[in-house]
Amino acid sequence: MPVRAIRGATTLDVDDRDHLHGRTQELVESLMSANALEPDDVISVIFTCTPDIVSDFPAAAARELGFGAVPLMCAQEMAVPGALPLVVRVLAHVETARERADVTHVYLHDAVALRRDLAQ
């Protein structure tokens, strides 16, 4: 089965643990649904947050969705002046029969501005 990388992002309204978990789970569930994936199809996931998010790790939210056996990593985005604040990004490596052009990347809330060319 081919391996594909799927990107996505969302934004928070406020840096709050419950809000972070809700938005992260919405992002992961949207990405999985849009690409007809199950957790067993996921090889690994890298989450990044802008430096203004410190309430928790997005990976903790993914584990609550059944990703406990999937290798997950969190990192901090570069602090670029003028960049969109309160952003959680995801890069998932998955096994899928979909062609690269048929993979659906997911951008939610204000993160649509990051990749208008990919946003639904």
Q: Catalytic residue at 89?
A: yes
| Residue 74 is a catalytic residue | yes
* Residue 23 known to be catalytic: no
**Which two tokens mark 59?**
């990976």
Rounded Cα–Cα distance for residues 75 and 3 (Å): 22
Candidate list 89, 95, 98, 99, residue with the active-site label: 89
Active site residue 4: no
Q: Is 77 a catalytic residue?
A: yes
Strands 87-95 and 42-49: antiparallel
Determine contact, residues 104/98, Cβ cutoff 8 Å: no
- 115 tagged catalytic: yes
Choose, from 4, 49, 74, 100, the residue flagged as catalytic: 74
**Which one from 29, 100, 115, 116 is the annotated catalytic residue?**
115
Annotated catalytic residue 38: no
Contact 10, 87 (CB under 8 A): yes
Q: Which one is catalytic: 4, 29, 63, 100? A: 63
List 64, 77, 98, 99, catalytic entry: 77
Running DSSP on this structure, what letter comes out for residue 85?
Answer: S
Q: Considering 7, 23, 99, 100, which one is annotated as catalytic?
A: 7
Q: Catalytic amino acids?
A: 7, 63, 74, 77, 89, 107, 115
